[in-house]
Amino acid sequence: MKITRSLLGRAPAALLAAGLVAAPLSALAHDDHGSRHSRPRLVGYFTSWAVYSAKNYTAKSVKDSGAASRLTHIQYAFANITPDLKCGVSDPWADYQRPYPAADDVDGVDETWSETEVRGHFNQLRKLKKLYPKLKVLISVGGWTFSNRFSDAALTPASRQAFVSSCVDMFIKGNVGEGRTSGDLFDGIDVDWEFPGACGNTCDFRPEDTQNFTLLMAEFRKQLDAAGRTARKKYELAIAAPVVESLYSKMELKRVARSLDFISIMGYDMHGSWELQTNFHAPLLPSSADPAGKKLNVHTTVDAFLRAGVPRDKVVVGVPFYGRGWQGVPNVNHGLYQSATGPAPGPVEVGSMDYRDLAPIAAVQGSFRDLRTQGHWIYNPATGMFWGYDDAFAMKVKGTYVKVRGLGGNMFWELSQDSTSGTLVRALHAGQN
């Protein structure tokens, strides 16, 4: 359906009451998997490299956008795994060396080389935490690019112990390198192994990754608890989990969940420019009209995690702050579920564009929404360009979905892709509340 101003002004609760959402979310409030979490988490990834882009995204940007006051967690991306299978920083300059001028500093103080042992993002995030004491910061290890050594690191009891010990020493105890310490920054560790027992960016995996991943998480839990007893605080442990069944089926979800505080389902990239048919890359609900079938959506995956025995309050629904696009799309069904000649050109990456760049386009040419999947898209018949992405309304619905089902919260990738006023963070927060 074409989006109108009156529809955009209606809250998800109003949509539910009007019966406009397929498989009404209100009915989902009464399912019986697991327990309820008292306050939904709102978890945002902060990328080290966004500071190098035209956005110059910093911890001060998180504060200025209004996101910091709404977030429960920031997950800093990414720590690497070194050739000797230890935790390591991926960009020392951005992470802890770069001094910030007053204009870019969280508290407006001009950093100097002698002011502190740790500068860069680490010091800026530490300052942000002082302004927002309830905000937690986790170091995220791995990601798409740095997951190739996980299988080796998790292979034996000795390798697991040594790897986890290095991560705890570097980020929890704060020995980040060059004699510098930042032990008051990180409140836990997020493990983003893409993917145990399956190909990701590389195919460096083993069949025994399934069991070894469970054992690796148990080792993280053991060492984080030991560090917490010394520091007299609770250190959190989280993972990013795939949304596709062929990938999450290679994980012992129930056993892994025992070691974790929460699991963020990466509810995006279900479709993209690697295919030659348009689709939503982050559909919330199933649809019989979807040519890919009714299994590839967030709701189906959430149900699978709950049935596998993951407690409800540990299930966090991931959402994207970017879209996926195609070109050469015929003007049929406003471009949805149609053939394409290839990926649409993007400002940085082919087939991908940040919400902050897509929103102005939608404001000019209008957009469409599929009430069955809750998918949102823009289409230009003159250029044959199709972009599917979550706007503020879709985010509010996904926040409401978490609230209605009593789930553990929402995660998103990633902060710098939002508008400068934090449009999507605000919408997620409003949906949760």
How many CB atoms lie under 10 A from the CB of residue 24? 14
DSSP 3-state assignment of 416?
helix
For residue 78, is the peptide bond before it cis, meaning its omega torsion is within 30 degrees of 0? Answer: yes
Distance CA 121, CA 60 (A): 10
Distance CA 82, CA 87 (A): 6
Q: Alpha helices of 232-321 — where are they, by DSSP H?
A: 245-248, 253-257, 298-307
**Greatest extent of the chain over all pairs of C-alpha atoms, in Å:** 64
- Torsion over CA: 250, 254, 257, 259 (sign): negative
| Nearest CA-CA partner of 222 in 258, 175, 184 | 258
How many CB atoms lie under 10 A from the CB of residue 293? 11
Distance CA 398, CA 215 (A): 32
Alpha-carbon distances of 168 from 111, 150, 171, 206, 352, rounded to whole Å = 27, 16, 6, 25, 35
| Nearest CA-CA partner of 76 in 64, 56, 58 | 58
Q: How buried is 178 (Cβ within 10 angstroms: 0-12 exposed, 13-18 middle, 19+ buried)? A: exposed
Among the options 111, 115, 117, 194, which is catalytic? 194
The reply to whether 245 belongs to the active site is no
Residues annotated catalytic, as ranges: 194
